[in-house]
Structure 1
């Protein structure tokens, strides 16, 4: 069965290294919290708010050891007034037998405000 694992984080300013570091950290924490084997990842979609233009966050994921064959795509979020700025979101589709209620979604930095009901 495929389950979605969600995560989000924020950066202080739009700088290439910060985008890559924050994205890699988020993805690694998502995998660790859910005991995910990279081979079981079907795909990853990474989105950013429109104020992030310095780097493709997917590059940070593709360069992690063992991730070179995981399909990864980047996109921008809708530009909605009042949205959390400088935010990177990840949706990871994973083959797992874990119940949907037991999936641990990861929210870091200011992104904890997006889904406080899911922050553990």
Structure 2
């Protein structure tokens, strides 16, 4: 195996409704899938940037990471661009981590209606 390098992983999910518990559950779901598919642990992380579309008001997506126990990872939330025809109630993640996987073996994760953002990726 090669030495760990800094890599970026992407993920996204959508909400059926803008409710705090639903946002927390869906955000934790996509995070868990990214971690599982890429064999990551909290100690591998550098930071996570979350974005949310302007129709999400119930909670910060970063709260989901804190509630899942990620207490030593820098987290940031930002507003997604409002683009005509964009996906509604969408949370996106950009995870910076150390991994020994080459870029072509990284598994980005798009769940629920966010799958349409990357139809080229396997589920």
Cα-to-partner distance string for 1:38-92 (whole Å, 9 max, x where unaligned): 1010000011111111111101101213x10011111110011100111110110
Matching of residues 59-70 of structure 1 within 5 Å: 59-65=63-69, 67-70=70-73
User: Which residue number in structure 1 is paired with residue 30 of structure 2?
Assistant: 26
Asked if the contact 1:10/1:110 (under 8 Å) is kept, the reply is yes
Q: How many matched pairs?
A: 119
* Aligned counterpart for 1:77 among listed residues 76, 80, 91: 80
**Partner-residue secondary structure (3-state), 1:113:** helix
Q: Over the residues paired in the alignment, what is the CA RMSD in angstroms?
A: 0.9
Query: Which segments of 5 or more consecutive residues in structure 1 lack a partner in the other structure?
Result: none
User: Which residue number in structure 1 is paired with residue 102 of structure 2?
Assistant: 99
Asked if the contact 1:105/1:119 (under 8 Å) is kept, the reply is no
Query: Which segments of 5 or more consecutive residues in structure 2 lack a partner in the other structure?
Result: none
- Which of structure 1's runs of 4+ aligned residues deviate more than 2 A? none
How far is the alpha carbon of 1:119 from its aligned partner? 3.0
**Partner-residue secondary structure (3-state), 2:118:** coil
How far is the alpha carbon of 1:37 from its aligned partner? 1.6
- How high is the TM-score relative to the length of structure 1? 0.95
